[in-house]
Amino acid sequence: MTPRTSKAISYISFAASILIGLQMLIILFRGEAACLNQGCKIVENLTNIPPLFFNLVGFFYFQTVCWLFFLVRKKGGLFVELARLFLLTGLAVESVLFTYQIFVAEAFCGYCLLLFAIVLLLNALAGWKQFVAGISILSGILLISSLLSYGPTALLSKGQTINTGTYGTRTCDNPKKELYLFFSANCPHCENVIQALEGCSSCNFHFNPIEKLDNFELKGMTRAASYDPILNRLLLKLLGIDTIPVLLEKNQSGFSIIKGEKQIIHYIQQACYQTDPLLYLDRTGQSSQDGIPVFSETGECSVNIDCEKEGQKKAPSEKFLEELIPAR
């Protein structure tokens, strides 16, 4: 490795740490990270660690690489091997985050991809042997990740149910139905549905957000000790649904799925505002997904991109739902 190459790696690493430092300042002053695309918010909402911590780790990593290669130019020897090891470690970490975006979030974070590209570039600058080793690590992680199951079927082996994704529950004295509302805090149609819940007297509502909520309060709602929004996203994916709001009802004949603001509000008014529910659903909007009746209507937001109309995918069987949703 030439002194010129070492100097280039130091400069690029230092520039990357400055970029991350700016991102941390934005988080501190704005309360949220600067997102290059919609995928950044999706990935951010699916992590258990605050974005500030992630960026802090990245800042110290690039600073360490910068000064390690400074020592490589000055002293060489052991610092060369240590610097190479640090580059491979960074690429291994970035490779895991890269596969997470592919197989779990199913959305790409532009900011994360930029950092991934920088780490890959640093390994390439360190020599062709270093680059081949880095590509081998990346390929191995991608291969293993592609063989693992990240889908909803993996959740059953962990004993998780739909209640694992419930943020809070609003109960009534004599509930006739147990309903699960899948929603997002950034969806205006979801907000209208939640407002329509005022006055409900015969339904228990479970609120299952598809992303982490910073501040969501509703009169009469009891917060759960913990919740997992990733499970809610996976369940919607299992059902072939990529829009919200969605209301899931378990009844004697199986399951019903009500989609869209208008249809859900109509359902709530007819089924939850009185002791004896009426025939509440408009059958003109009914379709079927693998035997499960689905009632659709306009007034939906995309799970990934706010309020963008998208098509439906085929859903798996009702048998899985019976295992996922516990009997009461």
Is residue 127's pLDDT more than 60? yes
User: How many domains are there within the chain?
Assistant: 2
State pLDDT tens for residues 3-26.
889 999 999 999 999 999 999 999
User: Within this chain, do residues 238 and 93 fall inside the same structural domain, yes or no?
Assistant: no
What pLDDT, on the 0 to 100 scale, is given for residue 135? 96
CATH number at residue 192: 3.40.30
User: Within this chain, do residues 86 and 164 fall inside the same structural domain, yes or no?
Assistant: no
What is the chain's length?
Answer: 328
User: Within this chain, do residues 57 and 15 fall inside the same structural domain, yes or no?
Assistant: yes
State pLDDT tens for residues 52-66.
998 999 999 999 999
User: Within this chain, do residues 205 and 72 fall inside the same structural domain, yes or no?
Assistant: no
In terms of average pLDDT, the best of 147-151, 281-285, 319-323 is 147-151
State pLDDT tens for residues 176-185.
788 999 998 8
State pLDDT tens for residues 74-122.
887 788 899 999 999 999 999 999 998 888 777 788 899 999 999 999 9
The domain boundary, picked from 147, 170, 198, lies at 147
User: Within this chain, do residues 143 and 108 fall inside the same structural domain, yes or no?
Assistant: yes
Q: What mean pLDDT comes out for the span 113-141?
A: 95
User: Within this chain, do residues 90 and 159 fall inside the same structural domain, yes or no?
Assistant: no
What pLDDT, on the 0 to 100 scale, is given for residue 291? 46
Where are the alpha helices (H) located in the chain, listed in sequence order? Answer: 3-30, 38-45, 51-74, 78-100, 110-125, 128-147, 153-156, 188-195, 229-238, 261-271, 318-324
User: Within this chain, do residues 99 and 212 fall inside the same structural domain, yes or no?
Assistant: no
CATH number at residue 84: 1.20.1440.130
User: Within this chain, do residues 143 and 271 fall inside the same structural domain, yes or no?
Assistant: no
User: Within this chain, do residues 141 and 159 fall inside the same structural domain, yes or no?
Assistant: no
- Residue numbers of the domain that contains 88: 3-147
What pLDDT, on the 0 to 100 scale, is given for residue 279? 45
pTM: 0.61
Tokens matching residue 194: 């939640």
